[in-house]
Structure 1
């Protein structure tokens, strides 16, 4: 390669960074202090590549959306074939086969009671629709006082106003608290390997729930739960028995159950949906993120027939007045259908098993780092916390770690003092083991 060509490649990242800096406003980023914006040229499998052709192993599935790896040819082909036939049509008063097929395929892996599919375009709106469904359901039935919602402390459900209200205690929405409606919050009993206090924490949460119900008789519309894992608050796990207990108490008090499976769906927790492991059927289920394999935005809010029937009537006022311009976009639906087919393949199932195995086989390595705590594994998710050291600024320390990970070609995005690994299903066992070895080396070189 000529020196001039090499120089052009070396300059590409910086040139694009400079162009980007003049015009872009990035999410969850302080533009004045963040200098880590990396221009990405392409994605292949579990790797993305910058304009210097440096590979980064995407260990967080690019915000949990990339199920099968980047640029999967079967999903790309499905989108292409759909694009030359029908790219979009208004979904009010019209329908199309990709939307119908997608819902039929999902129905095969859902409890039979969940049978009414409402399309939107991202996780926040899927939850926002669920809030409106739950509220209007009771209103349509004549219950005028059922206006309260119950959520868990630390829960994150999205960035629209309703979702921020449900996630008010997550720490992500502090600038907007005056705009949000009141929500009843239950302490979240997070757990990990060898947690000796889980029963005490769970009993406390249950007592708080019962107290809320006693003091708000007949005014609670629904409770929203991220089943088994709170994602954005730091991959915090709960037990299946706790979720069952909470759901049973709510059901016995005429409270609807909303499961937010935006992150936990599609085998992330080991089962097709987290609800399968809990053996609970919610009244409303929210899906998004990995549904299209990371190719296009799409979301679904799925309800029981009982919920759906409450919106039927002669007057429009009983209908759910909600919609999006790109509702049930045929391209996104086709991508999702292709993704579901890949999920069912023996190759994908073996990969999911191997990711879990790599996590388990790395526990001993992690336990040997004396400032790591609360190691936890569920399905394809592994997370651990860095012990909070009062002598060190944890924000600066975690920022430093993130930079070290990137230098080693590892795309990781810590959540507070939590480091988590949630890779695409294209990730090999060897790549994961190698990544853990790099992570341990970096941690040992930056010991607290």
Structure 2
């Protein structure tokens, strides 16, 4: 991940195109830095072409009077003067057995390792400079064929862009700059040659000045001489000239500017904790407990599964540095909660960033009522006809986030119930919902009213409206799959036991087969009897069933027995259903799939696994890959028709200023396209194979099988740990309940049990290394006595194994 050192200022040099003078201008920067008595490290990660023309040799040759301070290096060298990916392939084709094309991860690790090695030589007495020069243009391929912008992105080094002074160079320079911005790079300076004919600088200087980017024009080099000595003399004279102060500050002025940018970044990072404590009000945080600057997690950037955090305010760890490892002010931190469950494809995914830019550039935001645009229309069609609404939904309603999506769902369901039963006025205000204890549907008032009074997320205006069953839950204890029954249900069984072993996870989630078991009958009788007693009391007229299918997230990562939820739906609807096909019966059923939907649990939707479809469902979070907020509420045609009338006041009078925000819709479409690709990946197949190896062919179908990205042997070992009460996993989710007599949301047992996850391991621990080869710590959140972890849908298996190792070590700590 990104490296930042107090006394080693590092800049990466990209070119707007090939042959724009990138090496010449980098050599000038190196010479100017050396002239200021700085140690200068030059790195050319990949060099192609004859050795006598190598860039690292050129930089050393013209380093000037202080050449002894200049230390050039090349990591990968190839003979053919072509693109790196092609040069590597040609070397292999030529029979050079020693040539191995490194993966992007190995390539980045090599670059990062060299940077850390050079950081050893920087000190307070002699601050140093480093320049990392890329090859060709910004999108030129690396050795693996990945575009350079994406391959180098984990390092996130501040950037110098060498502009194009030739015909067409204005366009290529601006395009390269925008490509850098789309991937989040910090562009500190733009350099280009001053051309008297095309005069690109005259246009680019004010253009970038408006955007706060420093631009410097440098006199072009002399023509290359045939005579070696004469060429050396003229080139030396040229560098001696441009590396000094001159017009526009010259290259030496650029070096001063880069130093200032480095110091500004350090100062800003250093000041952020205090400024945050003085200004920000965090959600779900008791500020009394967070008053030290070292408690503030300063995130400098994020990429894939990691944050890059500033640790300048942290207390030094005894294990984080050694005498042979310089201490970077930035360190990788794994985003163990998927940033509150929003991440699906990792942070800063380039395809999602481009999708957002594409829609922002085309639409910005446009009004939606009685209008349409392609991003919204395509997303609605995809979700209704091919996605989670396939086979039951007819309409898609857009809103801002999961909580507002649930507000919409509740309005839909309650109106449908009221219309069918002819309820008017005050009678509509008395309606309640049926749900499960421990549920959570968001922090807007209506969504909170759909949860029981005992919930910790309620507020002064909360007015619980309905009834909530205490649900049976599924967990793995001591290697065995167990359904824990609430006392009221356990008392109805022949054994009277609260814990029921089900044999296996696959059997537990084979709902259709379990429907004929005695436990299904117990559930059915208990639910029917309870609902009948509620009707007799008349305290609530229940108008909608609202459930989080399979897993109640914020309630404590409670894996609800799927059989109970299926029977609950069947009882509410009547068995067989009392209404015609395609219509709702009993009361409308709402599935809150904000957390569990779109492959979070390994399936696109929970409906096939439960064997029933809802009348209304809500989708968010993974929907946009965690990049922007957006929610979609899907509804059946019967629900939609409840609002069909000649009167406008009968319409669904609910909306948001940013309804069907084009940026969010386009990002969602791109997310779904990516998911369509990765769900058939080798990594998914391997993960499924570990869990389903002994299952029947029918059970291996993704709509009928339960599997996890977490390794089954690891989960089994966790469940047998003395510190663990139980563990459960599905898809990306891992939940660990710590043994604690004072269990509950207020407990700190999970946080205490895993506190060592915040520590950073020794340099070189490859098992626990982030991209770039640096050891990492883990940012995780707990729900009282429950610690939970979430992977992305494209987390590399090696990183998942690394996380398992870290969690295991933390529990043994």
TM-score normalised by length of structure 2: 0.52
Q: Is the 8 A contact 2:524 2:571 kept in 1?
A: no
Shift of 1:269: 1.4
SS at match of 1:84: helix
Equivalent position of 2:471 in the other structure? 188
Superposition deviation, residue 206 in structure 1: 5.9
Deviation at 1:151, TM superposition (A): 1.4
Shift of 1:169: 4.7
User: Aligned to 2:349, which of 53, 72, 77?
Assistant: 72
Q: CA shift at 1:254, angstroms?
A: 1.0
Distance 1:209 1:17 in 2: 55
Pick closer, same or farther for the CA change 1:53–1:165 going to 2, 3 Å. Answer: same
Q: Deviation string for 1:95-147 (max 9, x for gaps)? A: 21100001112220233221211110111111111111111122233431561
Q: Which is worse superposed, 133-142 or 418-427?
A: 133-142
Name the SS for the 2:330 alignment partner. Answer: coil
8 Å CA contact 2:448, 2:464 repeated in 1: no
Question: Given the alignment of the two structures, is residue 281 of structure 1 paired with residue 613 of structure 2, yes or no?
Answer: yes
Q: Is the 8 A contact 2:754 2:811 kept in 1?
A: no
Residues 315 and 348 (structure 1), Cα distance of their counterparts in 2 relative to 1, 3 Å cut: same
Residues 194-237 of structure 1: CA deviation (Å, up to 9, x unaligned):
31544736746962554234432793210101001111112111
Select the structure of larger CA radius of gyration: 2
What is the CA–CA distance in structure 1 between the aligned matches of 2:525 and 2:299, rounded to whole Å? Answer: 46
Q: Name the residue aligned to 1:374.
A: 726
CA distance in 2, matches of 1:103, 1:259: 18
For the 8 Å contact 1:58–1:424, the answer to whether it is kept is: no
Alpha-carbon offset, residue 271 of structure 1: 1.1
Shift of 1:431: 1.1
**Cα drift, residue 268 of structure 1:** 1.2
CA contact (8 A) 1:402 1:414 kept: no
C-alpha spacing 1:274/1:349, structure 2 compared with 1 (3 Å):
farther
Residues 440 and 553 of structure 2 are in contact (CA less than 8 Å); yes or no, is this contact kept in structure 1? yes
Report which stretch shifted further, 358-367 or 128-137.
358-367
Count of matched residue pairs: 444
* Alignment of structure 1 residues 13-412 onto 2, 5 Å: 13-34=269-290, 35=292, 36-51=295-310, 52-107=329-384, 108-109=386-387, 110-144=389-423, 145=427, 147-169=431-453, 171-176=455-460, 179-193=462-476, 194-195=481-482, 197-198=484-485, 200=490, 203=522, 207-208=526-527, 210-216=529-535, 219-252=541-574, 254-346=586-678, 349-353=681-685, 356-389=708-741, 395-401=747-753, 403-408=755-760, 409-412=777-780
Secondary structure of 1:362's aligned partner: helix
Structure 1 length as normaliser, TM-score? 0.91
> Which string of whole-angstrom CA distances, capped at 9 and with x for unpartnered residues, describes residues 8-45 of structure 1?
67765542111111111111011121253311111111
Residue 389 of structure 1 and its aligned partner are, at CA, apart by: 3.9
Superposed displacement of residue 185, structure 1: 1.2
**Matched residue of 1:91: which SS?**
coil
Return the match for 2:782 from 407, 410, 414. Answer: 414
Greater RCO (Cα-Cα under 8 Å, separation 6 or more): 1
Per-residue CA deviations over 1:281-319 (Å, capped at 9, x if unaligned) read 101001111100001010011100011011011101210
**Any idea what SS the aligned residue of 2:288 has?**
coil
RMSD: 2.7
Q: Which runs of 5+ in 2 are unaligned?
A: 1-7, 9-121, 129-261, 311-328, 491-497, 499-518, 575-584, 688-707, 761-776
Query: What do the CA deviations read for 1:63-92 (whole angstroms, capped 9, x no partner)?
Result: 111110111111111111111110111112
**1:170 and 1:233 in contact (8 A); partners too:** no
Aligned equivalents of 1:154 and 1:435: distance in 2? 28
- Residue 241 of structure 1 and its aligned partner are, at CA, apart by 2.0
Per-residue deviation, residues 157-187 of structure 1 (Å, max 9, x unmatched)? 11111111222356323443x5314221111
User: Secondary structure at 1:106's aligned position in 2?
Assistant: helix
Q: Distance in 1 between matches of 2:686 and 2:655?
A: 40
For residues 66 and 278 of structure 1, do their structure 2 counterparts lie closer, same or farther at Cα, with a shift above 3 Å needed?
Answer: same
Indicate how the Cα distance of structure 1 residues 276 and 12 shifts in structure 2: closer, same or farther if over 3 A, else same. farther
- Cα distance in 2 for partners of 1:187, 1:206 equals 15
Unpaired runs of 5+ residues, structure 1, are none
Structure-1 separation of matches of 2:458 and 2:678: 45
Q: Is the 8 A contact 1:116 1:305 kept in 2?
A: yes
Q: Could you tell me how far apart the structure 2 residues matched to 1:158 and 1:354 are? A: 35
| In 2, Cα distance between equivalents of 1:179 and 1:273 | 30
The reply to whether residue 425 of structure 1 matches residue 793 of structure 2 is: yes
Deviates more, 1:321-330 or 1:55-64: 55-64
Secondary structure in structure 2 of the residue aligned to 1:158? coil
Out of 52-61 and 69-78, give the one that drifted further: 52-61
